[in-house]
Structure 1
């Protein structure tokens, strides 16, 4: 798959799985996607939220499998359901990632139900590894909200064709009161939010896309000694641009306790796409990382990634007990402050 094909996929309103849809009837379709890997680091401290990769070879730390059903009820009213076995889930308890009704009229659309949080460039197809060049979206940005990807509420979207080559989309959204849980190395944290309100805005053309996201939420975390409610404001800005066989991507995320960013470049050579990523995390997590890998497209629906990632922390932050990209501070494990991570990943859609 060429870099322009990858970018064209990203510009679609529907997720990448629409490229490999099984048309059951004229108005009902089923599609699916998945990823699995063999991965290992040289550090016993667990790496990455919801994946917890260590120096033991892991065959299921990245395993994802999703099914999506789309139904056209009438011309302008559609329903979509997506169920995903995420890396942190057991096969017996997958997650309902989205389930919504979508109504379109003229240049406007309204969705209601369980929806994907639209903060990042690949939010809409975060679990579809076939849709982006890397083995995983860069953790500096995509782990910044602890792996939460969906909300229950409603969103509206206004599409404006600025000219023949440029499309502008504004999408405000509102999430209802909600409880979410996160398991971190055996600890169970519950996040209770009063609300979630935000906006995503996007400008896209034939070979580029610029995305802005904002979200405000008031929440409480338990168990925690301080039971006061906290207010969170998140801002994101990202862009991607293709030029001949090159694909460049970059995003920055900032909120009240952290700032994170990455830059990425990939170059397509027939079925091979080598890529480099550099990322940094500041304040709450203090690390930098370098990723080098190559993607090989066996077909338009199946790909392989071979990837190395180096994750680094300075000595002072290590001694101060900073966790960086680890689940817990590596100093607690008497482990090194840095890690080398090796991954062989298989992605597919159908």
Structure 2
């Protein structure tokens, strides 16, 4: 019986270690992508940036990314990642990160465009080949409206506590910028003054604990100045063929969490996930699926997901995990989502 790479191991390694093309001894290029066939039994568009409906969709989940890594000196490195995200047109992809990294002893200084380190899968969020599900659980990973990067710097300190236990602490700071996102027919503009936070990881042979805190000051659509504190905590654990993962996100508007379990049987990994959103979205969801590893670089997912909203919240016009409130379209408050997904890296 073949044991698949544990998620916690994959999260600690850069993409080029899995698949990369060496252009020179110091320069490499790698890539990743996902695409799906997806549909629901509801006319209301489901999930921010994906907007899946009852009409069969062939590009709601489409992602394609290229990453360039350059070793300038033994201590100085550069990395650029450009991604066509689900919400992007092919002609207008996003620079997800572009930074310089300098290492000295146990410290690593990064500066430029960096990935927000809030969640367990933040570093490989768009790399579907690196996680078991078809999509990371929306309760947590869509909780900050799909924002994934910042422009600023971070300082990471890595240390070994014992032969099997390592710790990492990383304060980070992001400069002011304007962030835009579409929510159905509405465009949300966040004029961010700054963002600052800290993340910490504790990793052993078969487990990882991740926590983060971020404070930001911003204006939404030209409104009054607001402050937001975001707290996250997550953990993943691998035991024989079992893989367990759970995370929680909390801020003044909401509390969201999920728990997931997967069992590896040779090339097949069936999985089950349960999640809840409170205060802002008022939903719960159940996800069941199976991943099939065609090769170490290609995988397939077949997945069903049910998302459920309380009747009173539906009648109040809440949107839940939908992009617009389903009551406005006279659609049901609950939805069933069916997905066939393919992921790859090169």
TM-score, with structure 1 as normaliser: 0.97
Match in the other structure for 2:27: 28
1:111 corresponds to 2:107: no
SS at match of 1:156: strand
Question: 2: CA distance between counterparts of 1:133 and 1:274?
Answer: 9
Match in the other structure for 1:300: 296
Deviations 1:56-98 (A, max 9, x none): 1000000000000000001100000000000000000000000
Question: 1: CA distance between counterparts of 2:8 and 2:212?
Answer: 19
Moved more, 323-332 or 259-268: 323-332
Report the Cα offset of residue 205 of structure 1: 1.1
Q: Gaps spanning 5+ residues in structure 2: where?
A: none
Aligned-pair Cα RMSD in Å? 0.9
Match in the other structure for 2:329: 333
Contact 2:6 2:243 in 1 (8 A): no
Contact 1:4 1:245 in 2 (8 A): no
Report the Cα offset of residue 7 of structure 1: 2.8
Match in the other structure for 1:212: 211
SS at match of 1:295: strand
1:102 corresponds to 2:98: no
Question: 1: CA distance between counterparts of 2:140 and 2:311?
Answer: 23
SS at match of 1:74: coil
1:311 corresponds to 2:312: no
Question: 1: CA distance between counterparts of 2:7 and 2:309?
Answer: 33
Question: 2: CA distance between counterparts of 1:221 and 1:46?
Answer: 23
Question: 2: CA distance between counterparts of 1:98 and 1:153?
Answer: 11
**Ranges of 4+ aligned residues in structure 1 off by more than 6 Å:** none
Contact 2:102 2:110 in 1 (8 A): yes
Contact 2:6 2:238 in 1 (8 A): no
Report the Cα offset of residue 17 of structure 1: 4.1
Match in the other structure for 2:257: 261
Match in the other structure for 2:81: 82
Question: 2: CA distance between counterparts of 1:10 and 1:154?
Answer: 21
Match in the other structure for 1:195: 194
Question: 2: CA distance between counterparts of 1:176 and 1:232?
Answer: 15
Q: What is the aligned counterpart of 1:275 among 271, 276, 297? A: 271
Contact 2:115 2:150 in 1 (8 A): yes
Question: 2: CA distance between counterparts of 1:303 and 1:49?
Answer: 24
1:185 corresponds to 2:184: yes
Match in the other structure for 1:9: 10
Q: Gaps spanning 5+ residues in structure 1: where?
A: none
Match in the other structure for 2:165: 166
TM-score, with structure 2 as normaliser: 0.98
Deviations 1:290-340 (A, max 9, x none): 000000000000000000000001111111111110011111110000000
Question: 2: CA distance between counterparts of 1:288 and 1:6?
Answer: 24
Contact 1:11 1:204 in 2 (8 A): no
Contact 1:4 1:207 in 2 (8 A): no
Mapping 1:16-165, distance limit 5 Å: 16-165=15-164
SS at match of 2:336: strand
Moved more, 264-273 or 181-190: 181-190
1:286 corresponds to 2:285: no
Deviations 1:195-219 (A, max 9, x none): 0000000000110000001100001
Question: 2: CA distance between counterparts of 1:2 and 1:62?
Answer: 28
Report the Cα offset of residue 3 of structure 1: 4.1
SS at match of 1:124: helix
Match in the other structure for 2:235: 239
SS at match of 2:18: helix
Report the Cα offset of residue 187 of structure 1: 1.8
SS at match of 2:140: helix
Question: 1: CA distance between counterparts of 2:74 and 2:142?
Answer: 38
Contact 2:16 2:29 in 1 (8 A): no
